Amino acid sequence: MAKVLLEMKNITKTFPGVKALDNVNLKVEEGEIHALVGENGAGKSTLMNVLSGIYPYGTYEGDIIYKGDVCKFEKIKDSEEKGIVIIHQELALVPYMTIGENMFLGNERGKRFAVDWDETYGKADEYLRMVGLNESSKTLIKDIGVGKQQLVEIAKALSKNAKLLILDEPTSSLNETDSKALLNLLLKFKKQGMTSIIISHKLNEVSYVADKITVIRDGSTIETLTKNVDEINEDRIIKGMVGRDLTDRFPKRKEKKIGEVSLEVKNWTVYHPIYHDKKIVDNVSMKVHKGEVVGISGLMGAGRTELAMSIFGHSYGQNISGELYLNGKKEELKTIREAIEKKLAYVTEDRKGNGLVLSNTIRENTSMANFKGISNKSGVIDRDLEYKIAADYVQKLKTKCPSVEQNVGNLSGGNQQKVLLAKWMFADPDVLILDEPTRGIDVGAKYEIYCIINDLVAEGKSVIMISSEMPEVLGMCDRIYVMNEGRMVGELSGEEVTQELIMAQILKSSKGA
């Protein structure tokens, strides 16, 4: 029988006005991969922050028993000394430092007042090889992609002699190829005796990699499922997460009313903002109608985000050329303000970095893109009106929060995404560009956002959805543009569209490039 490595008993954690964890229990055996699943705000990350010492002993109730000893971690350094290392969803790497410098930041190699750079880079290269990353440790973090940065974080954890590796949404920003490689790396570590806890909303990945799955709902443990013992399938996991059967992942629209063309771009070309001769968007043409959801599918690096941002008031790129039409009228939208005034909105994929001000309240974030909507004729903001509008959107979007005066940084990812949507819905756009609108959020919150999208197009709005999740694109969109290497390489519609057909378009265009 396997030996229990970690046991968390009766963990209760309370924040002002919210009980985040309510008597949660978790048991992890040596050498297993244990998944934690649940809706946003269920308490998964909070539980791991308790375990790692981010929430120190004394700020919660219950016991952490690791290798048979009761642990009272005061800070993250205490848990790391025991071999417990957490990798957060937002990677903690410094872009303008090298891989080696990042790997040993705060844990420098050498004597007290002198870093031994030969040892630093030599050791770093060893750990990079362990995770299968073929990069020099002297490479700057900014010069490698997100998938490789995730591997750097894992190599950094190995450099701390990790025995229990905690990964919070490790594949949320990765494409399918990089995600599979990372999951296979965890399976490799498992064979070497490593124990892992993985938090993920991607249930297919959880089913692939996990030996046990613990479901948490509303701060409480619902059940733990064991591979080859319990019947494990996505429907059962979802029911545990949301407390009900979710029979259809993608809500059907009652009636489709596709109208006139609302936005069209012709021969749109964009160059890189720094490397002036690098073409990022290459002669793209596309259009979207009123009442229509149009998807843009493609692999990471295809140019989808860059296309969207360049359309949205030239917020990305330089030497932008081509024509843009709104409701049949040619427009020159060279600033974000001009784009907003012409009823165009862009919901960024980076909600924490570019979409929201985390230190501000829900009320302040909701009104941020439309101060005119809460101001009197003299331009003075009506705080009571601002409060009412924010409260209305909280109710409409089912945002879980104590009040609209709650700081956005204290909300779960799914609820932050709803505040970001509220911000742009209040701006009352005719065309809404959604860039990875459900990244890193659970199936219940995804369903609610899909319903919001359907409501918007039912009102005659137009939605452009950029998504790396092909089932989402197939389930929600009326038409799909396929983008690869900066070019539109296909346009698909109808019931016959499949993931295989989309990938075939991408691969065919790559070979012909």
Average pLDDT value for residue range 232-238:
81
pLDDT at residue 511 is higher than 50: no
Query: What are 144-153's pLDDT values in tens digits?
Result: 877 788 888 8
Is residue 240 within 8 A of residue 223, CB to CB? The reply is yes
| End position of a domain, from candidates 199, 226, 242 | 242
Among residues 172, 160, 152, the alpha carbon closest in space to that of 92 is found at 152
Provide the residue count of the chain.
513
| End position of a domain, from candidates 242, 261, 277 | 242
Specify whether 101 is located in the same domain as 214.
yes
Specify whether 411 is located in the same domain as 440.
no
- The average confidence (pLDDT) of the chain is 88
Average pLDDT value for residue range 482-506:
86
- Three-class SS state of 192: coil
More confident residue, 173 or 512: 173
Domain hosting 362: range is: 355-428
% of residues, the chain, pLDDT over 70: 97
Specify whether 27 is located in the same domain as 111.
yes
Residues 262 and 259: their CA atoms lie apart, in Å, by 8
348 belongs to a structural domain: no
Is residue 438 within 8 A of residue 417, CB to CB? The reply is yes
Query: What are 344-390's pLDDT values in tens digits?
Result: 999 998 888 788 999 999 999 999 999 988 988 888 889 999 999 99
Specify whether 310 is located in the same domain as 459.
yes
- Number of domain units in the chain: 3
Local confidence band at 510 (pLDDT 50, 70, 90 cut-offs): low
350 belongs to a structural domain: no
Q: What is the pLDDT of residue 139?
A: 92
91 belongs to a structural domain: yes
- Three-class SS state of 209: helix
CATH classification at residue 202: 3.40.50.300
Specify whether 144 is located in the same domain as 287.
no
Specify whether 43 is located in the same domain as 187.
yes
- Three-class SS state of 185: helix
More confident residue, 17 or 223: 223
Specify whether 171 is located in the same domain as 94.
yes
Average pLDDT value for residue range 180-201:
90
Local confidence band at 246 (pLDDT 50, 70, 90 cut-offs): low
Specify whether 459 is located in the same domain as 491.
yes
492 belongs to a structural domain: yes
- pTM check: above 0.75: no
Q: What is the pLDDT of residue 512?
A: 44
% of residues, the chain, pLDDT over 90: 51
Query: What are 38-89's pLDDT values in tens digits?
Result: 876 788 888 999 999 999 999 999 999 999 999 999 999 999 999 999 988 7
